[in-house]
């Protein structure tokens, strides 16, 4: 029997509940397709600070690096918000991305037909729907540049710096071209080349590579314009490639036009098959422990793991189709129910499991 060892980083807030849902779904798929999953939990984020004094204990890094892939819930919460930058829960995310070499972040944002009514954009704007794949650079740029405090012209001053090497730009651009090649062959590279030197190098390298991908149509867009175009006409986008910070911002914007951030999974990938999969939403401390959270983004992150880490296409399809079916049948968690009676986290998970089990 095929066996995969998966590290679980449940984290804080709703993290444990949504990861438990994804685990139950994967176990159901495993049973059906004769795949065995060994799940091993490790501490990350606020809970790791509470229990070990560090947001990312060495044991967690070692466990992730020894696993076949990693599933993460969410980190952070008000309890740890006043800690200094280097021991905040969020620091653990940057640390694990860096330790695992996860330079690619794939963030798909598509409009589910069943959720069209949730989209805040005018009906005519989304008449054709949209299906966007954001390829975000994840281990470079301003997130990882030199930063600190110093005495400046006006006294106390803080600074963060952005740098990108040719190597970093080339490898993420290649992932983006390859991704576009498997989709609608349309790549938009987003930068701020009218101001930033890093963006000018980014743009130059993206175009240098174009000759190797003659089947892909590539164009540039400035990030401010892109933010506008995403709400003006989202269906013009197929694959987007952009830097760490621009990708962070634009992916939140893209998530909102799909209706709920509770639906969006992500995959963070390296140059090997070990990845880290997580919902793009946060830890939602206000509803933690109440069995109210939407687990679909995490369940779909499990589907992405099946596809990108293990090439288990059937497993991935089973999960994605089951989620589609459950939404089509009108089942909703509170984030999508507008005050109407909603299913709990565990109830919607049961529905998805039922749909998988019945091949529905």
Catalytic residue among 224, 271, 286, 360: 224
Interatomic CA distance for residues 9 and 276, integer angstroms: 10
Active-site residue identified among 4, 42, 112, 143:
143
Work out which of 12, 168, 248, 335 binds Mn ion, going by CB under 5 A: 248
Q: Is 248 a catalytic residue?
A: yes
Residue-wise over 13-43: b if at least 16 C-beta within 10 A, else e? bbbbbbbbbbbbbbebbbeeeebebebeebb
The answer to whether 170 contacts ligand IPM (rule: CB under 6 A) is no
Q: Give the one residue of 27, 90, 317, 350 binding ligand IPM; rule: CB under 6 A.
A: 90
Please say if 112 is a catalytic residue: no
What binding mask, one character per residue, do residues 207-246 give for ligand IPM by CB under 6 A, x or -? ----------------------------------------
Residues 6+ apart with CB under 8 A from 178: none
The residue (of 19 and 326) whose beta carbon lies closer to ligand IPM is 19
Q: How many CB atoms lie within 10 A of CB 79?
A: 15
176 vs 264, beta carbon nearer ligand IPM: 264
Supply φ then ψ for residue 179, to 5 degrees: -65, -45
Active site (annotated) includes residue 204:
no
Task: Candidates 65-73, 116-124, 215-223, 243-251: pick the segment binding Mn ion (CB under 5 A).
Answer: 243-251
Q: Tell me how long the chain is.
A: 360
Using rule CB under 6 A, residue 93 touches ligand IPM: yes
Stretch of 76-84, 147-155, 244-252, 307-315 lying at the interface with Mn ion (CB under 5 A):
244-252
Catalytic one of 192, 292, 325, 351? 192
Task: State the nearest-atom distance from the C-beta of 280 to ligand IPM, in Å.
Answer: 6
Nearer Cβ to ligand IPM (41/95)? 95
**Are 348 and 294 spatial neighbours (Cβ–Cβ below 8 Å)?**
yes
Q: Are 222 and 79 in contact (CB under 8 A)?
A: no
- If one asks whether residue 248 binds ligand IPM (CB under 6 A), the answer comes out as yes
Residue 326 φ then ψ, to 5°: -65, -40
Q: How far apart are CA 240 and CA 136, in angstroms?
A: 8
Query: For this structure, is 192 an active site residue?
Result: yes
| Alpha-carbon gap, residue 82 to 46, rounded angstroms | 12
Give the residue with the Cβ less far from ligand IPM, 93 or 111. Answer: 93
Q: Which backbone phi and psi does 274 adopt, to 5 degrees?
A: -80, 125
Return the range that interacts with Mn ion (CB under 5 A); candidates 59-67, 140-148, 207-215, 246-254.
Answer: 246-254
Q: Judged by CB under 5 A, which stretch of 51-59, 171-179, 248-256, 312-320 contacts Mn ion?
A: 248-256
Q: Is 12 in the site for ligand IPM (CB under 6 A)?
A: no
Nearer of residues 118 and 248 to Mn ion, judged by Cβ:
248
Quick one: tokens of 335? 């984030």
Which residues 264-293 are close enough to bind ligand IPM by CB under 6 A?
280
Distance in Å, CB of 93 to ligand IPM, minimum? 5
Q: Which does 93 bind (CB under 5 to 8 A by kind): ligand IPM, Mn ion, none?
A: ligand IPM
Q: Specify whether 271 is catalytic.
A: no
Contacting residues toward ligand IPM, per CB under 6 A: 90, 93, 248, 280
Active site residues: 143, 192, 224, 248, 252
């Amino acid at each position: 029997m095929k066996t995969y060892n998966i590290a679980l980083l449940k984290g804080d807030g709703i993290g444990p509940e949504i990861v438990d849902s994804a685990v139950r779904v994967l176990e159901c798929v495993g049973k059906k397709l004769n795949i065995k999953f060994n799940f091993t939990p490790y501490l990350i984020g606020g809970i790791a600070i509470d229990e070990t004094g560090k947001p990312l204990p060495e044991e967690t890094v070692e466990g992730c690096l020894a696993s076949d892939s990693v599933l993460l819930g969410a980190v952070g919460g008000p309890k740890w918000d006043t800690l200094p930058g280097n021991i905040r829960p969020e620091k653990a995310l940057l640390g694990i991305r860096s330790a695992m070499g996860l330079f690619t972040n794939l963030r798909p944002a598509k409009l589910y037909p069943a959720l069209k009514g949730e989209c805040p954009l005018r009906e005519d704007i989304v008449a054709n729907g949209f299906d966007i794949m954001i390829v975000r650079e994840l281990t470079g740029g301003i997130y990882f540049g030199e930063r600190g405090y110093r005495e400046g012209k006006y006294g106390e001053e803080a600074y963060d710096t952005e740098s990108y090497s040719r190597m970093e730009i080339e490898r993420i651009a290649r992932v983006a071209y390859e991704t576009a090649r498997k989709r609608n062959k349309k790549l938009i590279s987003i930068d701020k080349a009218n101001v930033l030197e890093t963006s000018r190098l980014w743009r130059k390298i993206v175009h240098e590579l174009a000759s190797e991908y003659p089947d892909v149509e590539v164009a540039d867009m400035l990030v401010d314009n892109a933010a506008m175009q995403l709400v003006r006409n989202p269906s013009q986008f197929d694959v987007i490639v952009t830097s760490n910070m621009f990708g962070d911002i634009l992916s939140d914007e893209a998530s909102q036009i799909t209706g709920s951030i509770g639906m969006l999974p992500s995959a963070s990938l390296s140059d090997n098959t070990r990845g880290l999969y997580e919902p793009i939403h946060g830890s939602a401390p206000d509803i933690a422990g109440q069995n109210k959270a939407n687990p679909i983004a995490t369940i779909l992150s499990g589907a992405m793991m099946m596809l990108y880490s293990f090439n288990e296409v059937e497993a991935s399809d089973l999960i994605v189709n089951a989620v589609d079916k459950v939404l089509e049948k009108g089942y909703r968690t509170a984030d999508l129910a507008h005050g109407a009676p909603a299913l709990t986290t565990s109830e919607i998970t049961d529905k998805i499991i039922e749909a998988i089990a019945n091949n529905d």
